[in-house]
């Protein structure tokens, strides 16, 4: 929808999406400033914010820059056009970078030094240490480096987006003319080179500084007149959603090959960079001044996560987190046996172990009674046990169908490799759908039991990724519910065949077909309850909230008197109004784990309904993606969701409330936490629940106690 500035500006109903995201990244950076956060965790948060900002430039700034250069008059719902957004984001990014570098180099690294962990520079080394570092360079680093001269015989190279490059101006001995050159700092080498140190001291040197200190070995016969490191970020915002390519696999592969040649959108240089080399760099990329950033310190702070991993000092790190097994899987029984007994089971990593989901697939791959497996994959790990189980299933003669989304941004290459590997094993691989991203998380297994076919499914809010299951909070439901499994079978028919979406789903709700209208119906129902003199209440937990229609709808519901609590981790484009303070509360929680689950609660006149979903309330999720929302109906399961939501609502340690000013309440900078930290509370609640199941105490859910009693009775 297009707007002119005057039809929405000044209403105060909306917050600009890009500014909201930058506020979110600042809330992540807050975690690096809190004294109660372990020091190495603070270092990791700095690295996370740097990685987040890189993606922001590659996608969001790239898109705004295109609109700016094309002179597009489009304004966002907050009334800001592209030039206004670019200038406002630049102001926020400048302030953010200043704070980020002050935190890292002014506080975190000096605190590391108090624990005998140092980043040293070539000028700090003794003569003997200089010789040693030179030996390290020649034996372990120099063989990997490739210098690129730029002259009539050597064209300007295609520099990689995000890589640290060293630019040089040389004066060859056989020529009186300046020559320019590059050396790329290889991403495959460790960024932090550990130097031999006495006692328990740990000393590291940045790889680029070690290379710069030894460049003469690469350019023998030339005088190095000047050199410095720099970095470019390229536009990675290529759209594949509207393409109708006949061969999507080949099309995405071609797009990936073009990435190295896409235009830069950011140039990071040392502050005050001047002289012939700096001017040559600027002229080579021809970026407007708005997109040039002076960096007062090391480049590519995302890689400082490597330093946090290398230090390995337990007293500076967060205590290890141990996931627990869902209580329903404490018995040594087949996943299918357990599901027949319980019907539905929630698995909530990282509080729960991800193992039951992997085990479900592994059992299906080996079970002679399993006939078919169907699964959607969006992002998986590099050595995925999920994909390995699917490969085994295909080799074992199962009918394996994998809907693998090739258009998952920044995971395209990984997904292409997995698609080809699965195809080679005999699986049927569907490479997404032209025009739509498949973001739904679903696994369906068809099994022959007692002469009949029975279906089992797993549906979730997050990816089938064993690695992110350790750090992202997600919730999935394993089910043997015939109605729900039938809906998922119909969904796969839509994804893999020519089946029309239809309206014959009994429980599942799919975007872009019915999810928006169903959410509107659920919200409208709460409004009607208030109008009839009752109480309306909505609690919605999601990652981002930016869809204009939904923002307006929630504003209306709050104005009508519906009690609304939104738990939105990141982008929130809804600006609460002062007159809504009694009815509308918006909370953001940033903590050790990335909040990723989507949970929706509707009071429904005392007959509450709970839903889980793969979709945020964003236009892309509701209108341009295959997304899934499904109900959670069993009392034991809704009680778990109720407690999770309540822990988040009561979080006074990590919870931040969005104000009518568009800013969030200040973060808790106490030296220690108060005990109202939702992630710790949820983890403790699940641990206690598992412990209760182990000792058979009264706190164990009734069905589980009956299961235990039956097991004891039958020996």
User: Which tens digit of pLDDT belongs to each residue from 423-473?
Assistant: 889 899 887 677 888 999 999 999 999 999 999 999 999 999 999 999 999
Domain parsing of the chain, residue ranges = 5-316, 327-502, 509-708
Average pLDDT score over residue span 552-565: 97
Confidence (pLDDT) at 265: 95
Phi-psi label, residue 335: left if phi above 0, alpha if psi -120 to 50, beta otherwise: alpha
Contact status, residue 173 vs residue 222, Cβ threshold 8 Å: yes
- Model confidence band, residue 698 (pLDDT cutoffs 50, 70, 90): very low
Residue among 372, 351, 346, 362 at smallest CA distance from 630: 346
pTM for the complete prediction? Answer: 0.91
Cα radius of gyration (the chain): 28
Do the domains 5-316 and 509-708 sit in the same CATH topology, yes or no? no
Q: What is the pLDDT of residue 419?
A: 78
Tokens standing for residue 355: 């193992």
Length of the chain: 715
Statement: residue 1 has pLDDT above 80: no
Q: What is the pLDDT of residue 245?
A: 45
- Predicted confidence (pLDDT) per residue in 361-384, tens digit: 999 999 999 999 999 998 888 789
Non-local CB neighbours of 584 within 8 Å, separated by 6+ positions: 554, 558, 564, 566, 576, 577
Q: What band does 412 get if pLDDT is binned at 50, 70 and 90?
A: low
Mean pLDDT calculated for residue range 659-666: 93
Decide which of 271 and 176 is more confident: 271
- Going by C-alpha positions, the residue among 190, 181, 199, 183 that lies closest to residue 136 is 190
State the chain's maximal CA–CA distance in angstroms: 94
Q: What confidence category does residue 696 fall into, taking pLDDT thresholds of 50, 70 and 90?
A: low
Task: Let me know if domain 509-708 sits in CATH 3.30.870.10.
Answer: yes
Choice among 3, 300, 352, 439 that is catalytic: 439
Sign of the CA dihedral 49, 52, 54, 57? Answer: negative
pLDDT at position 258 is 57
Phi, psi angles (nearest 5°) of residue 79: 90, 15
pLDDT at residue number 418: 75
Q: How confident is the model at residue 670 (pLDDT cuts 50, 70, 90)?
A: confident
Residue 699, pLDDT score: 43
Stated as kind and residue range, the H or E segment containing 400 is strand 399-404
Average pLDDT over residues 77-99: 96
C-alpha 204/C-alpha 116 separation (Å) is: 11
Known active-site residue 439 = yes
Mean pLDDT value of segment 197-211: 93
Q: Which of 301, 242, 291, 246 is nearest to 269 (CA)?
A: 291
Res 9: pLDDT: 44
The topology (CATH level 3) of 5-316 is polyphosphate kinase like (3.30.1840)
| CATH architecture of the domain formed by 327-502 | 2-Layer Sandwich (3.30)
pLDDT, mean over the chain: 90
């Amino acid at each position: 929808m297009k707007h002119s500035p005057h039809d929405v500006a000044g209403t105060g109903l909306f917050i600009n999406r890009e500014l909201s995201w930058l506020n979110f990244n600042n809330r992540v950076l807050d975690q690096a400033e809190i004294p109660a956060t372990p020091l190495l965790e603070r270092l990791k948060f700095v690295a996370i914010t740097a990685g987040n900002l890189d993606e922001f430039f590659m996608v969001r700034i790239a898109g705004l820059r295109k609109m700016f250069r094309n002179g597009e008059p489009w304004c966002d719902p907050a009334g800001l056009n592209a030039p206004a957004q670019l200038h406002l984001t630049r102001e926020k990014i400048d302030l953010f970078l200043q704070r980020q570098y002050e935190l890292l180099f002014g506080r975190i690294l000096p605190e590391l030094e108090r624990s005998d962990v140092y980043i040293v520079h070539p000028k700090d080394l003794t003569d003997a240490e200089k010789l040693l570092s030179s030996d390290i360079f020649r034996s372990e680093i120099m063989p990997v480096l490739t210098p690129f001269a730029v002259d009539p015989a050597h064209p300007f190279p295609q520099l990689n987006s995000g890589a640290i490059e060293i630019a040089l101006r040389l004066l060859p001995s056989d020529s009186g003319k300046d020559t320019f050159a590059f050396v790329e700092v290889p991403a495959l080498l460790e960024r932090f080179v550990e130097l031999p140190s006495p006692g328990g001291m740990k000393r590291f040197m940045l790889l680029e500084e070690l290379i710069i200190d030894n460049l003469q070995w690469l350019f023998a016969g030339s005088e190095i007149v000047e050199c410095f490191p720099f970095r470019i970020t390229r536009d990675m915002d290529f759209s594949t959603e509207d393409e109708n390519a006949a061969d999507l696999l080949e099309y995405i592969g071609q797009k990936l090959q073009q990435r190295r040649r896409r235009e830069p959108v950011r140039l990071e240089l040392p502050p005050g960079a001047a002289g012939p080399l700096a001017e040559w760099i600027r002229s080579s990329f021809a970026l407007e001044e708005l997109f040039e950033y002076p960096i007062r310190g090391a480049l590519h702070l995302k890689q400082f996560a490597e330093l946090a991993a290398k230090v390995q000092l337990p007293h500076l790190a967060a205590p290890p987190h141990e996931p627990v097994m869902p209580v329903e899987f404490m018995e040594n029984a087949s996943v299918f046996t357990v599901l027949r007994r319980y019907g539905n089971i929630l698995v909530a990593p990282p509080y729960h172990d991800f193992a039951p989901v992997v085990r479900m697939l592994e059992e299906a791959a080996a079970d002679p009674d399993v006939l078919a497996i169907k699964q959607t994959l969006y992002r998986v790990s590099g050595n995925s046990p999920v994909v390995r189980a699917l490969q085994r299933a295909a080799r074992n003669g199962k009918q394996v169908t994998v809907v693998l989304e090739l258009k998952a941004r920044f995971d395209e290459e990984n997904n292409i490799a997995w698609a080809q590997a699965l195809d080679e094993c005999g699986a049927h691989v569907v490479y997404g759908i032209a025009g739509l991203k498949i973001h739904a998380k679903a696994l369906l297994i068809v099994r022959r039991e007692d002469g009949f076919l029975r279906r089992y499914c797993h549906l979730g809010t997050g990816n089938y990724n064993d690695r992110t299951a350790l750090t992202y909070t997600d919730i999935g439901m394993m089910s043997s519910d015939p109605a729900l499994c039938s809906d998922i079978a119909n969904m796969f028919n839509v994804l893999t065949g020519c089946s029309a979406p239809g309206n014959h789903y009994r429980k599942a709700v799919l975007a872009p077909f019915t999810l928006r209208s169903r959410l509107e119906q659920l919200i409208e129902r709460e409004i009607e309850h208030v109008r009839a003199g009752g109480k309306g209440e909505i609690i919605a937990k999601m990652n981002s909230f930016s869809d204009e229609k939904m923002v307006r709808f929630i504003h209306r519901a709050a104005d009508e008197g519906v009690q609304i609590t939104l738990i939105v981790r990141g982008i929130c484009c809804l600006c609460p109004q002062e007159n809504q303070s009694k009815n509308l509360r918006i909370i953001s929680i940033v903590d050790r784990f990335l909040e990723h689950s989507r949970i929706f609660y509707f009071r429904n006149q005392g007959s509450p309904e709970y839903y889980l979903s793969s979709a945020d309330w964003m236009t892309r999720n509701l209108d341009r993606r295959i997304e899934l929302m499904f109900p959670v109906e069993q009392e034991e399961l809704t009680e778990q969701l109720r407690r999770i939501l309540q822990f988040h609502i009561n979080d006074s340690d990590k919870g931040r409330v969005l104000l009518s000013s568009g800013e969030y309440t200040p973060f808790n900078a106490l030296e220690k936490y108060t005990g109202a930290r939702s992630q710790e509370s949820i983890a403790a609640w699940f641990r206690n629940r598992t412990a209760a199941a182990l000792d058979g105490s009264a706190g164990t859910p009734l069905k589980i106690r009956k299961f235990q009693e039956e097991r004891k009775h039958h020996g």
